[in-house]
């Protein structure tokens, strides 16, 4: 069941639970075209017997990936300009930072409380960073190879 569908069913239950019985609300939601298993899940979530689904963490993952890309840009700038010693030291810390984000994100994914969303953001953010970095390096490499063979 989609998140939007569950949220709509939960909003309907919250609005009408005080006026009608759960059986009447269940019948009305099924009559409105919702699948019976989706209605039962919404009722369980509403009654608190089943935890609600985690909110999406994509915005956090994008923020982590963009922050990592900005750090790579900063480190590359430091390395290519007059700050070679500090740029080299900082550049060597980048894999440690990525590994730390990966491990902490994976660890927090196993958490039961609200830290699970942070774990998703860190874990998927570093994976997104790796994917974007691989795409950038591939395009850069293809232009370099194409420039070498084309001359």
Per-residue pLDDT, 92: 75
Which pair of structure tokens corresponds to residue 67? 């922050």
For residues 43 and 51, give the distance between their C-alpha atoms in angstroms, rounded to a whole number.
11
Task: Give the number of residues written for the chain.
Answer: 151
Per-residue pLDDT, 88: 67
Q: What is the pLDDT of residues 22-65, one digit of tens each?
A: 899 899 899 988 888 988 998 888 888 887 777 778 898 999 99
Per-residue pLDDT, 111: 77
In terms of C-beta distances under 8 Å and separation of at least 24 residues, what long-range contacts does 7-13 make, across chains too?
9/34, 9/38, 9/39, 9/42, 10/42, 10/45, 10/46, 10/52, 13/42, 13/43, 13/46
Residue 69 confidence (pLDDT) above 70:
yes
With 0-12 / 13-18 / 19 or more C-beta atoms within 10 angstroms meaning exposed / middle / buried, residue 62 is: middle
Q: How does DSSP classify residue 51?
A: P
Give the contacts of 17 (CB within 8 A, at least 6 positions apart).
Answer: 25, 46
Model confidence, pTM? 0.63
Which pair of structure tokens corresponds to residue 7? 């949220």
Please state, for a pLDDT cut of 90, what percent of the chain lies above it: 16
Residue 149 confidence (pLDDT) above 70:
no
Q: What is the pLDDT of residues 84-100, one digit of tens each?
A: 666 567 667 788 888 89
Q: What is the pLDDT of residues 102-130, one digit of tens each?
A: 999 989 888 777 788 889 999 999 999 99
Q: What is the pLDDT of residues 1-12, one digit of tens each?
A: 677 788 888 888
């Amino acid at each position: 069941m989609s998140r939007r569908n569950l949220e709509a069913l939960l909003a309907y239950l919250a609005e009408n639970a005080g006026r009608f019985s759960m059986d009447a609300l269940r019948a009305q939601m099924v009559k409105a075209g919702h699948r019976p298993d989706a209605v039962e899940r919404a009722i369980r979530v509403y009654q608190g017997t089943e935890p609600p689904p985690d909110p999406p963490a994509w915005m956090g993952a994008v923020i982590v990936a963009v922050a990592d890309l900005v750090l790579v840009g900063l480190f590359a700038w430091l390395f290519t300009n007059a700050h070679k010693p500090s740029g080299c030291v900082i550049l060597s810390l980048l894999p440690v930072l990525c590994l730390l984000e990966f491990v902490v994100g994976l660890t927090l994914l196993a958490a039961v409380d609200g830290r699970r969303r942070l774990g998703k953001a860190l874990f998927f953010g570093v994976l997104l960073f790796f994917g974007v970095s691989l795409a950038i390096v591939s395009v850069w490499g293809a232009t370099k190879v194409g420039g070498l063979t084309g001359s």
